[in-house]
Amino acid sequence: MLRLGQKIYIIHDSFEQNLPVGEYGYIIAYDRNADNVFDYVVRVPKTNKHYFVPASDIELEEVLLRQEAEQVEREALIDYALATRNEELFKRIMNGESSEEPSDSEKEVMSQKDFIKQVSLKAWI
């Protein structure tokens, strides 16, 4: 359960109540009614209104910033792998594998042309 006064962002409008998706707000109250689907009352300063929202429609600012940082880090690693033509790093990032790969499986070696074709194909898809 989120604390009162925490800064949140509205990420979804599941009940189509014209929530300002993408805007920030502050939790100002809990909705304690067990018969109600809404969990929080959120104050959005930009629209100068209060909204009743379920917990699934909001996300903490810290969580969104962490997700964005992870995405930027992943994109930077992909750019680095492509710039240095580091095929192993590129495959590990794209497949989401850990840094330890089994050494018993024999891998065929690709030429640089084939590697660039494969990267272009994945980028096109």
Q: Does residue 90 share a domain with residue 57?
A: no
Please tell me which residue, 69 or 102, carries the higher pLDDT value.
Answer: 69
| Of 19, 23, 24, 7, nearest in space to 53 by CA | 19
pLDDT digits (tens, 9 = 90+) for 6-29: 999 999 999 989 899 999 999 999
pLDDT digits (tens, 9 = 90+) for 74-122: 999 999 988 988 888 888 888 876 555 544 444 567 788 888 878 777 7
In a domain, 67, yes or no: no
- Whole-angstrom Cα Rg for the chain: 22
In a domain, 66, yes or no: no
Count of domains forming the chain: 2
CATH number, position 13: 2.30.30.40
By residue range, what is the domain housing residue 101?
85-124
In a domain, 46, yes or no: yes
In a domain, 112, yes or no: yes
pTM of the full structure? 0.61
In a domain, 80, yes or no: no
Q: Does residue 49 share a domain with residue 13?
A: yes
Residue type, 32: R
In the 8-state DSSP scheme, what is residue 110? P
Q: Does residue 50 share a domain with residue 17?
A: yes
